[in-house]
Amino acid sequence: MSIQTTEAYRQEVATNGFTVIDRIYEREAVAALLTMIQQADSSRSTFRKSDDLFAIRQFLKELPQAMPLIFTPALQQLIAQIFGDGYFVVKSIYFDKPAQSNWFVAWHQDLTISVKEKIETEGFGPWTVKQQQFAVQPPLPLLEDNFTIRIHLDDTTADNGALKVIPGSHAKGVYRPETIDWQEEKETICEVPAGGVMLMKPLLLHASGRTVNQHQRRVVHIEFSRQQLPAPLQWSEMASY
């Protein structure tokens, strides 16, 4: 990937809060990752399986053998050129929206981070807990500096739940969905082919629709930060690459 092309992606993330990049992973790499996931021990507490969703929380901690498949030299170079140095993984999830699934996700920003335990800390709050995982809203500058990579293992379109986003909403601080001015804002659908990635900022307003084409949607979602949390608060998941 040329420097000029990477700069265009960097500018798109800065301006719109997201970008989509095709063919980061070849078909063989996607197949190898899916095989690894299928062979994993799904009886562990971090695995969640139902008719509507299969998810693995702390994915890279549960399947560390996936690290070299995901963090190829090309991806590492892309991260450095678009976001800079010093970042590390702070959250990773694999989720599979099956073909028959019919749930949707309403408009929201990713306003929380995952931490090991609840420790009241100035500037951090409110708190939530879900499936024994503590989450807290950190100070805004931390969220503004973080980013997320979504690795698509299937072709994702508007018909099987591709993300809808509001370009530029990441630059407006905490933006409550009920206050969206649809006279001013415009929705964009982020279709991503298998092997492609979507890079996005956590404050980007996003949503996803129901599946209507009976096609599966499998994604590895990885969040990154370069901020150390104030002691004794700790990231629940932390990995270098």
Q: What is the pTM of this model?
A: 0.93
Domain that holds residue 206: 3-225
Residue 235, domain member (yes or no): no
Residue 92, domain member (yes or no): yes
CB 197, CB 20: distance < 8 Å: yes
Residue 236, domain member (yes or no): no
Beta strands across the sheet bearing 127-130: 113-115, 133-136, 127-130
Q: CA–CA separation, 91 vs 107, rounded Å?
A: 21
Residue 117, domain member (yes or no): yes
Q: What is the CATH number of the domain that holds 147?
A: 2.60.120.620
Residue 77, domain member (yes or no): yes
CB 17, CB 164: distance < 8 Å: no
Domain count, the chain: 1
Residue 239, domain member (yes or no): no
The residues facing 192 across adjacent strands are 156
Torsion angle of the four alpha carbons 185, 171, 179, 205, in this order, in degrees rounded to the nearest 10? 70
Quick one: tokens of 77? Answer: 């170079």
Residue 166, domain member (yes or no): yes
Whose CA is closest to 202, among 127, 240, 145, 135? 145
pLDDT string in tens for the chain (241-residue length): 666 689 999 999 999 999 999 999 999 999 999 999 988 877 666 666 655 458 899 999 999 999 999 999 999 999 999 999 999 999 999 998 776 666 789 999 999 999 999 999 999 999 999 878 899 999 999 999 999 999 999 999 999 989 999 999 999 999 999 999 999 999 999 999 999 999 999 999 999 988 888 788 999 999 999 999 999 999 999 999 9
114 Cβ contact list (under 8 Å, min separation 6) = 90, 91, 133, 134, 135, 235, 236, 237
Residue 238, domain member (yes or no): no
Torsion angle of the four alpha carbons 111, 204, 107, 137, in this order, in degrees rounded to the nearest 10? 0
